[in-house]
Amino acid sequence: MITWMQHRKKYLVITIWIATIAFIGAGFVGWGAYDMNTNRAKSVAKVGNRNISVEEFQQAYANNFNYYNQQLGGKLTQEEADKMGLDKVVMQNIINEALLLNFANDMGFIVLKKDIENALIQDKNFQTDGVFDKNKYYSLLKAQRMTPKEYENSLKKELLLNKLQAVLNLPISKQEIEVFGSSIFMQDKLNVSVLSINPRDIVIKTEALKKFWEQHKQAYMTKKKYILDTIKVALDPAAPDTEALKKFWESKKYLYKDKEGKLLSFEDANAKVTIDFKLKASKQKALETYLKLKKGEITPTGTKTVYDDDTAFPLKTLRVLNQGQVMKPIAMSDGYLIAKLKQVLMPREMTFEEANAQVTKDYRQTLLKSELEKKATARLDLFNGQNTGFVSRDSQVSINGLNSTQSSQFINFIFDQAQTKGYKVFGNKVAMYRVLEQKLLNQEKLKLYKNIITNSITQNKKAELYKNLLATLRTMYKTEQYYKGK
């Protein structure tokens, strides 16, 4: 069924060419405020003479949410979707589609009943032994909670947009392919040289450092931290019975794997199995301790500070805890930790003393970069360095003074510049270049990558065309948006 939905997803997309999202799945989501005027209660927006229904919006949102949730392994929450503004993305895409549909109608494009029938008949998903199967058609739609009318309306929209797309497709000329190919595969003969400065040679004066800190105070903040009162339930130090340990491992050995995903032997997994075995044995005591602390029957015996970037701690639970609340036992390698939230300290600007180490590092790098740029600027016309021969973006060039990654970054940097000479700073180094000679077109690479180039030109032209078209359509068709977002 999912395969069928993936194949038909183009009929469900909000904007056929503009959106890059594939919509998978179904479901419904609760909504924030939208204009509840009685004349608008059934719509989230009106574009030209087209109304966008609440149901259409909800279905589009659900499809988007499910797609992203699938990409994130089922970990997308509603809160995260709200933060990324998913509802606003859906609204804009659905409005863009409505603009295009208005334009297609005004251009005189129509979709006849026979067009829809032909599309259905030719769809292999609805065929049995190569022939359209009406029962299969109804069965598939029912499984997806869609009526034939809903599906055929979505199909009608796509067919209409396809007709518009066919008219707006622009042919690609030989000259365009050559120009585009030249921009990618042009070759430069370069003269390059690398200068370096020892960071220790940079002298930092205290007054200048303080002034730098004053100008950038807001960049130096303490981390949000949680102060916890704790009780530790330690594991039994005695070695467990070997037979009991082996039995435990047998029941859960699928959990113990090496880096390649292969099951570990009992001997290789012994250390981890022993900890897990002891944790299981101590779990009841940890739960009893948790309940006693929660009821105030015992007092904490320790304290712990947890920072908001400590991924080893269950921050998701901690972040929603109120002051005075107790967390359920947290399994650790040496026992269980039961923690009660005592205080939350929000980020604040660091004092000069607190920020000194990081400020010094940043200021040193600022001075270092400034000094490197001065030296590079003074020597651009004078240096006589390494001659690279003709190179292109994809060339693997070894540049004296740079590692392979830096060399690749430097070559790509040069081809992004309009100037025939320049420089790029890499930490305590500056790489300088001069273009000695240039070849604009590499016919061999142009021939080799012609299909890729053609596809790139097509996509770029299409994106630019629809960007400009939508900008024009927004001035032609009035848009009333009733849904105000969350």
17, pLDDT greater than 90: no
Alpha carbon distance 144, 150 (integer Å): 11
Q: How does 441-462 read in b/e, with b if 16+ C-beta sit within 10 Å?
A: ebeebbeebeeebeeebeeebb
pLDDT the model gives residue 408: 93
d(CA 54, CA 482): 10
Other CB atoms within 10 A of residue 263 CB: 12
List Cα–Cα distances, 457 to 24, 187, 393, 451, 461, in angstroms.
29, 20, 18, 10, 6
Q: Of 133-137, 173-177, 436-440, where does mean pLDDT reach its minimum?
A: 173-177
DSSP code of residue 102: H
The 43-47 sheet, strands edge to edge: 50-53, 43-47, 479-481
- The whole-angstrom separation of Cα 20 and Cα 55 is 22
Q: Indicate the pTM of the whole model.
A: 0.53
Instruction: Say if CB 234 and CB 352 are below 8 A apart.
Output: no
Nearest to 249 by CA among 269, 226, 227: 269
- Residue 348: C-alpha distances to residues 225, 226, 242, 284 (Å): 11, 14, 53, 40
pLDDT, tens digit, 9 for 90 and up, residues 355-385? 999 999 999 999 999 999 999 999 999 999 9
Whether the per-residue pLDDT at 205 is higher than 60: the answer is yes
- pLDDT confidence band for 10 (50 / 70 / 90): very low
Q: How far apart are CA 163 and CA 102, in angstroms?
A: 13
Most distant CA pair in the chain: distance in Å? 85
Distances (CA, A) of 458 to 193, 322, 462, 468, 471: 39, 55, 6, 15, 20
Cβ partners under 8 Å of residue 231, min gap 6? 289, 293, 298, 300, 301, 302, 337, 338
Which pLDDT value is given to residue 12?
A: 35
Q: In what order do the strands lie in the sheet with 225-234?
A: 302-307, 225-234, 335-345, 330-332
- Beta bridge partner(s), residue 423: 432
pLDDT tens digits for 71-120? Answer: 888 888 888 888 888 999 999 999 999 999 999 999 899 999 999 999 99
Distance of CA 32 to the CA centre of its chain: 25
Higher pLDDT, 22 or 292: 292
Residue 79 sits at φ, ψ, to 5 deg, of -60, -45
**C-alpha to C-alpha distance for 430 and 378, rounded to whole angstroms:** 12
pLDDT of residue 217: 93
> Do the beta carbons of residue 157 and residue 400 sit within 8 Å?
no
pLDDT-based confidence at residue 442 (cuts at 50, 70, 90): low
Q: Is the Cα torsion angle 87, 93, 97, 102 positive or negative in sign?
A: positive
Predicted confidence band of residue 26 (pLDDT cuts 50, 70, 90): very low
3-state DSSP percent of the chain in helix, strand and coil, to 5: 50, 20, 30
Residue 208 is predicted with a pLDDT of 96
User: How many Cβ atoms from other residues are within 10 Å of residue 372's Cβ?
Assistant: 22
pLDDT band per the 50, 70, 90 thresholds, residue 187: confident
What number is the average pLDDT over the span 240-253? 91
* Residue 153 to residue 166: CA distance in whole angstroms: 20
pLDDT digits (tens, 9 = 90+) for 304-347: 999 999 988 988 889 999 999 999 999 999 999 999 999 999 99
What does DSSP say about strands 421-426 and 50-53: parallel, antiparallel, or unpaired?
unpaired
Does 424 or 79 have the greater pLDDT score? Answer: 424
Distance CA(186)–CA(393), nearest Å, equals 8
**Half-sphere exposure for 265 (CA within 13 Å, toward CB):** 2
- Rounded to an integer, the average pLDDT of 225-252 is 93
Rounded to an integer, what distance in angstroms lies between the CA atom of residue 230 and that of residue 286?
A: 12
* Residues in a beta bridge with 45: 52, 481
Distance CA 239, CA 245 (A): 10
pLDDT tens profile 248-291: 999 988 888 888 888 899 999 999 999 999 999 999 999 999 99
pLDDT value at residue 450: 76
Mean confidence (pLDDT) of the chain: 85
Return the H-helix or E-strand segment holding 331: strand 330-332
What is the bridge-based pairing of β-strands 330-332 and 302-307?
unpaired
The segment with the largest mean pLDDT, out of 27-41, 180-194, 367-381, is 367-381
- For the chain, give the percent of residues with pLDDT over 70: 90
Q: Tell me what pLDDT residue 486 has.
A: 66
